[in-house]
Structure 1
Amino acid sequence: MESVSQRSDQPMTDHGNEINLRSVMRGAAFAPSLVILSALIVIWAATGAGYFWPMWAALGLAIPTAFWYAVRWARLRPKGATRWYAMQAAISVVIVCINLLVWAMSGGGFFWPIFPAVALGVLLALNPLFLRPDRRKLEHRVDELTRTRSGALDVQATELRRIERDLHDGAQARLVALSMQLGRAEERLADHPDSAALVRQAREEATAAIRELRDLARGIAPPVLADRGLVAAVEALASRSTANVEVVGHLDHRLPPVVETAAYFVVAESLTNVVKHAPGASARVTLHLDGAMLVVEIADNGPGGADATASGLTGLKQRVEALDGRLELHSVAREGTVVWAVLPCE
């Protein structure tokens, strides 16, 4: 049998951990108590019966057992304030029951058990007041973690934009200059076809590298997003998309960079999925503020039936949830797909 200490940190379930009559009968103190009580009843019967005094002995034997099982039950609660509150409640119930039994076994009369019952109830009611400082500390810690996480995300967004600028102004600019120089060299080697072909190949490779680097920089932090804001960046996405995309939205002010970036990539990934999985479909992107929340919705009239567990959508959901936002996908076969995201802006 698993010991109590081994199970003290586990929540009580419906199977195995219940304290029922069978578990009581298996207790180590039950058998000796039963023998002692039986002997006292025999003595009572042998002495001519009368007042049934063995009931007091039974109560005396039951009290430590009741306390033991009350503590055992409380120790099955999770550690911390919950366990101590459960222990206080269990012991209070045992005390109230003992007082009621003593009152009843004494012949009733004035109902004095009401006073300790009220006192124990008041103590239980005041218990949350003693736990409140811990709750305030926990709330303060949550607020602190929220602030530090928000700061870390803002720093990350700023760093990504710096990397994008460095790529644009550094490596990309050098590649553009190299491509132009190779173009001039190709023109000067017009009388040497073999050499000109090699230079042309090098220029084409440089041009391909420029395109890849531009796509990489745009994937890190689109310049239009930093320069003109979210709505303009989404409109630029729509203009580049091969799908028919309508953008509806007007934001009165700029949002935190990390929020704009997350919303931008939600739209970008959703439009990519429209082109990939619903060719020929039209899409509508809606952006609006609902209080302190940015609501982003991308709806298309494609075939629907999108997989919510796809890697791209999973990545988007993680990005949105990192900001305490929500992302949902509604995609019914033959009814189109709707991607809906809500991002806090404060």
Structure 2
Amino acid sequence: MVSVSQRSDRPMTDYGHDIDLRSVVRGAAFAPSLVLLTALIVIWAATGAGYFWPMWVALGLAIPTGLWLAVRWAWRRPRGATRRYAMQASISVVLVVTAVLVWAMSGGGFFWPVFPFVGLSVALALNPVFLRPGQRKLQNRVDELTRTRSGALNVQASELRRIERDLHDGAQARLVALSMQLGRAEERLADHPDSAALVRQAREEATAAIRELRDLARGIAPPVLADRGLVAAVEALAGRSTANVEVVGHLAHRLPPVVETAAYFVVAESLTNVVKHAPGARARVTLSQDGAMLVVEVADNGPGGADVTASGLTGLKQRVEALDGRLEVHSVAREGTVVWAVLPCE
């Protein structure tokens, strides 16, 4: 069964739970630090106050936090030289601030943090002079390899679709005609049982060859994918599935053949796993575009606990990563399974 809609207001919790692990990790790290610092302050106060030594513990806890925030901020910058420079600059700021705090907490005096400040400033200033030419050359090479690989993959996808059409319109059509002729020959040999049996066997072999050829062609790319696009192909796939599948999504234009093919097989493998490992479960397929990225999500409300290292999922991951995409599988016992993939459309 399949239902198709442009959008869905059904909460994701109907199909699986999207747990923000980063929030959990931050909370788990912050709570013990706060408890430790509070305990040390209590010990300091109970032992007669005096020199406030817990501030050194607070500094020790603050340094990794500052480094983590610096790296996180830098990681949000554009990839390439901009991100690398932001990473170096943000970490340098954390180190300089740490040096100043150590100087202030140790009683002031001669301002020795000026030396690491000057050293890091000079290093950051000279970074573009010495490294930028090599980085630019490397980035140009990476861009060239990305373009040529993308072109090769698109040509390969187009050739595979041409082969699929040739199989469908050529060999498969001839085998169907042969099977029909053998069927008529079998009827005319009704008075000759031995000859009819031989013709029947030949017809059955031709029928088996047709099935194998159709499976082979469908494994390359289904005809509807080339003719009508990804959404129509996914709707047809959901219609053939024995699971209760809802397809949500609308794409404004056709995508590169290699991207459509990869996304189609992500959905196909995911729905196959739903039927195999979660019979009776409901599934939802969501197709959307986020800028230059295609986002594919297949979620079900089955028992969860899927083996994310299975060969089928590993093959999907390799197919997606070959296009500079990313595939993730979240499967928690009794909370369903979510297969999420993002693919560049350019």
Q: TM-score, normalised by structure 1?
A: 0.64
Q: CA offset at residue 272 of structure 1?
A: 0.7
Equivalents in 2 of 1:200, 1:279: separation in Å? 37
Provide the secondary structure at the position in 2 that maps to 1:343: strand
Q: Which runs of 5+ in 1 are unaligned?
A: 1-113
TM-superposition CA deviations, 1:186-217 (whole Å, max 9, x none): 11011112221221121112111101111110
Equivalents in 2 of 1:313, 1:322: separation in Å? 14
Equivalents in 2 of 1:334, 1:311: separation in Å? 22
Query: Judging changes above 3 Å, is the alpha-carbon distance between structure 1 residues 185 and 332 closer, same or farther for their aligned structure 2 residues?
Result: same
- Answering whether residue 321 of structure 2 is matched by residue 321 of structure 1, we say yes
Equivalents in 2 of 1:194, 1:182: separation in Å? 15
TM-superposition CA deviations, 1:81-114 (whole Å, max 9, x none): xxxxxxxxxxxxxxxxxxxxxxxxxxxxxxxxx9
Query: Judging changes above 3 Å, is the alpha-carbon distance between structure 1 residues 189 and 119 closer, same or farther for their aligned structure 2 residues?
Result: closer
- Answering whether residue 279 of structure 2 is matched by residue 261 of structure 1, we say no
Which position in structure 2 is the counterpart of 1:252? 252
- Answering whether residue 296 of structure 2 is matched by residue 296 of structure 1, we say yes
Q: CA offset at residue 271 of structure 1?
A: 0.6
Query: Judging changes above 3 Å, is the alpha-carbon distance between structure 1 residues 232 and 123 closer, same or farther for their aligned structure 2 residues?
Result: closer
- Answering whether residue 228 of structure 2 is matched by residue 224 of structure 1, we say no
Which position in structure 2 is the counterpart of 1:342? 342
User: Which structure exhibits the higher relative contact order, with contacts defined as CA atoms closer than 8 Å and separated by 6 or more residues?
Assistant: 2
- Answering whether residue 166 of structure 2 is matched by residue 166 of structure 1, we say yes
- Answering whether residue 322 of structure 2 is matched by residue 330 of structure 1, we say no
Query: Judging changes above 3 Å, is the alpha-carbon distance between structure 1 residues 264 and 123 closer, same or farther for their aligned structure 2 residues?
Result: closer
Q: CA offset at residue 318 of structure 1?
A: 0.5
Which position in structure 2 is the counterpart of 1:191? 191
TM-superposition CA deviations, 1:201-239 (whole Å, max 9, x none): 211121111011111101101110000000000011011
Equivalents in 1 of 2:119, 2:285: separation in Å? 62
Which position in structure 2 is the counterpart of 1:305? 305
Equivalents in 2 of 1:230, 1:332: separation in Å? 29
Amino acid at match of 1:199: V
Equivalents in 1 of 2:123, 2:240: separation in Å? 68
Q: CA offset at residue 165 of structure 1?
A: 1.4
Provide the secondary structure at the position in 2 that maps to 1:299: strand
Which position in structure 2 is the counterpart of 1:52? none
Amino acid at match of 2:168: H
Provide the secondary structure at the position in 2 that maps to 1:206: helix
Which position in structure 2 is the counterpart of 1:133? 133
Q: Which runs of 5+ in 2 are unaligned?
A: 1-113
TM-superposition CA deviations, 1:98-136 (whole Å, max 9, x none): xxxxxxxxxxxxxxxx9xx97997588325312211110
TM-superposition CA deviations, 1:9-36 (whole Å, max 9, x none): xxxxxxxxxxxxxxxxxxxxxxxxxxxx
Which position in structure 2 is the counterpart of 1:27? none
RMSD of aligned residue pairs (Cα, Å): 2.1
Query: Judging changes above 3 Å, is the alpha-carbon distance between structure 1 residues 331 and 120 closer, same or farther for their aligned structure 2 residues?
Result: closer
Where does structure 1 differ by over 6 angstroms across 4 or more consecutive aligned residues?
117-121
Equivalents in 1 of 2:268, 2:120: separation in Å? 61
Equivalents in 1 of 2:316, 2:214: separation in Å? 22
Provide the secondary structure at the position in 2 that maps to 1:335: coil
Amino acid at match of 1:264: Y
Equivalents in 2 of 1:119, 1:270: separation in Å? 54
Query: Judging changes above 3 Å, is the alpha-carbon distance between structure 1 residues 299 and 124 closer, same or farther for their aligned structure 2 residues?
Result: closer
Aligned pairs for 1:71-82 (under 5 A) are none
